[in-house]
Amino acid sequence: MVDANTPLRPAPALLPALGAMTWLQALVALALFAPGVVAPRAHIEVWQLSMFSCAVFAVGIPASFWGGSFIARMGSLRIASLCAAAIVASMALASLGSIAGLLAAGLCLGLAFGPETPASAALLSRLVSAERRAFVFSARQTGNQIGAVCGSLALPAIAIAFGPAWCYAAVAVSALVAILLFEWLRPVYAGKIVPPPQLDLRARLALVTTDRRIAMLALASMPFSAMQVSLNTVFVTLGTSELGLSHVEAGTALACAQAGGLVGRLGWGFVAMRLNASRMVLVIIGLGMTFCAALLGLDGASLGRSWQFAVATLFGLTASGWNGVFVAEIARLAPQDRIGETTGAVLTASYAGLLAAPALVSILDGAASLGAAFFALACLALCGTVALIWGGHDQTGT
C-alpha cells in the first residue's frame, strides 16, 4: 500500500494529497469550532461547550492510539473518508439542539479528530523527501487555522441569516464534498493492501518508549498542547481581567496570536527544512512559548499596548506554530512501516495535554490567578523543552 509501506508515485503526486489532507484538518477544526461560534444563537452555555470539547478529546485519544492499525489496513484516504463521515454524523447530532445531541456530537467528532493526523503523516511521509518533510507537514497543519478562520467568518453570518442548524448543515455538506474528493483520489495512492502484522498494546507502547528521542517528543507534546489550547481558549479572559485590555483589544491581541500561528506553521517548517534541524527548531519554539507565557503571566499588565500585541503575536508564532515540525520529526524517527501507528501513539500524549489543560488552568485560576496559571504552563513548557534537549543531545543531527 502506498501510504503505509512503499511509494508508487513520484513527487508530483504530493500536491493533491497535501490539499486533501489539509482540507480534512480544516473540516475537523471547522466542526470543532462550530458549536462555540453558534452558541449565542443556539443558547449553548459555557459548560455545555466544555462538555462537547472534553467528549471530542476523550474519544480522540484512543482513536489516535489505535487508529494506526486501521490506517495500515485501509489506507489513509479511506480513513479520511471515514473521518469526514464522522463529521457529517457529528453535525447532524449537534443540529438536534439538545444537550444529549451535543454530547453525542462531541463523541462522534472524536472519531475524526483522533485519526486524521496519523493518516496524513502516513500518506505524506511517503510522498515527500526527507529534506522537505518539515515544511510540507507544517503546510498541512495550517488546515487548523484555515478551518478556524473560515468558521469564525462564515458561520456567524449563516447563523444570523438562517439559524444555527444551517451552520451545522454547511459543515456537513463540506464534509460530504470532501468524501467525494478522497474517494476519487484514493485509487491513485492505494495499491494492493498488504498490512503489516497487528500490534498489541505492549508493542504499540514500545513504538514510543523504546526510542528515547520519540519518548521525549511525546513528553514535550503534553505541555506544548496544553499551552496551545489555553492560548486559544482563555487568552481573551486573561487580557480583559489581568492585562488591562478591553474586550475588543483582547480579541485583537488573540487575532494577532492566530496570525502568528499561521505564519509560524509555515515559517518554522521552512526553517527546519533549510537547516535540516527539526529538533533544534522545536527547542527554540519551546523556549519562545515559555518566555511569552511567563512574561504575560507575571508582568503582562506593565507592557504597553504595542508590546502586548507583539508578545501575543510571538506567543501564537510559537505556541500555535510547532505542530507541523513536531509531526515531521515523528515521521522521521518512526519505523517506516509504522509511521501511522507511531504518530497516533505519540499524539495520544498531545491529546492528553489538551484534555488536562482546562482543568489545570481552572484550578490555578481559582487558587491564585489566571496569570499564575500561564506562569505554571510556562514552567511545564520549559520542562518539555529540556526533555527535547535531553532526548536528542546524543544525536549528531535531526
- Tell me the CATH number at 359: 1.20.1250.20
Identify the CA nearest to 385 among candidates 209, 219, 215: 219
* pTM for this predicted structure: 0.79
Using pLDDT thresholds of 50, 70 and 90, give the confidence band for residue 10. Answer: very low
pLDDT surpassing 80 at residue 302: yes
* Structural domain ending residue among the three candidates 144, 162, 189: 189
Pair 356, 226: CB distance under 8 Å: yes
Alpha carbons 205 and 335: distance in angstroms, whole number: 13
* Structural domain ending residue among the three candidates 154, 189, 224: 189
Using pLDDT thresholds of 50, 70 and 90, give the confidence band for residue 138. Answer: confident
Same domain, 132 and 231: no
Residue 279's domain comprises 206-392
In this prediction, residues 283-291 reach a mean pLDDT of 97
User: pLDDT tens digits, residue range 342-351?
Assistant: 888 888 888 8
> How many Cβ atoms are within 10 Å of 219's Cβ, its own excluded?
20
* Structural domain ending residue among the three candidates 189, 221, 254: 189
Same domain, 230 and 122: no
Same domain, 225 and 289: yes
Same domain, 295 and 346: yes
Same domain, 226 and 317: yes
Identify the CA nearest to 208 among candidates 327, 71, 335, 345: 345
Check residue 47 and give its pLDDT: 76
Same domain, 228 and 368: yes
Using pLDDT thresholds of 50, 70 and 90, give the confidence band for residue 296. Answer: very high
Same domain, 87 and 180: yes
User: pLDDT tens digits, residue range 197-226?
Assistant: 666 678 878 888 899 999 999 999 999 999
In this prediction, residues 161-190 reach a mean pLDDT of 92
Using pLDDT thresholds of 50, 70 and 90, give the confidence band for residue 146. Answer: confident
Amino acid (1-letter code) at residue 19: G
Provide CB contacts within 8 A for 229, sequence distance 6+: 353, 354, 357, 358
Instruction: Give me the number of domains the chain comprises.
Output: 2
> How many Cβ atoms are within 10 Å of 103's Cβ, its own excluded?
17
pLDDT surpassing 80 at residue 374: yes
Pair 25, 144: CB distance under 8 Å: yes
Alpha carbons 113 and 86: distance in angstroms, whole number: 9
Check residue 271 and give its pLDDT: 94
pLDDT surpassing 60 at residue 319: yes
Same domain, 221 and 321: yes
Percent of the chain with pLDDT over 90: 43
Check residue 126 and give its pLDDT: 84
Q: Residue 386, exposed/middle/buried by CB under 10 A (0-12, 13-18, 19+)?
A: middle
Same domain, 141 and 22: yes
Provide CB contacts within 8 A for 33, sequence distance 6+: 147, 148, 151, 152, 155
Same domain, 151 and 262: no
The answer as to whether 398 is a domain residue is no
For residue 345, give Cα distances in angstroms to 60, 160, 291, 331: 11, 41, 29, 12
Alpha carbons 45 and 23: distance in angstroms, whole number: 29
The answer as to whether 291 is a domain residue is yes
In this prediction, residues 365-387 reach a mean pLDDT of 94
Using pLDDT thresholds of 50, 70 and 90, give the confidence band for residue 288. Answer: very high
Pair 11, 125: CB distance under 8 Å: no
The answer as to whether 48 is a domain residue is yes
The answer as to whether 6 is a domain residue is no
Q: What is the mean pLDDT of the chain?
A: 87
The answer as to whether 69 is a domain residue is yes
User: pLDDT tens digits, residue range 303-314?
Assistant: 989 999 999 999
Pair 357, 226: CB distance under 8 Å: yes
User: pLDDT tens digits, residue range 11-46?
Assistant: 447 899 999 999 999 999 899 888 877 877 888 876
- Residue with the three cell numbers 488546515: 143
Check residue 40 and give its pLDDT: 74
Same domain, 212 and 346: yes
User: What are the residue ranges of helices labelled H in the chain?
Assistant: 14-42, 46-74, 76-94, 99-113, 116-124, 133-141, 143-162, 164-189, 201-209, 212-241, 247-275, 278-299, 305-319, 323-333, 339-367, 370-392
Using pLDDT thresholds of 50, 70 and 90, give the confidence band for residue 236. Answer: confident
Same domain, 176 and 219: no
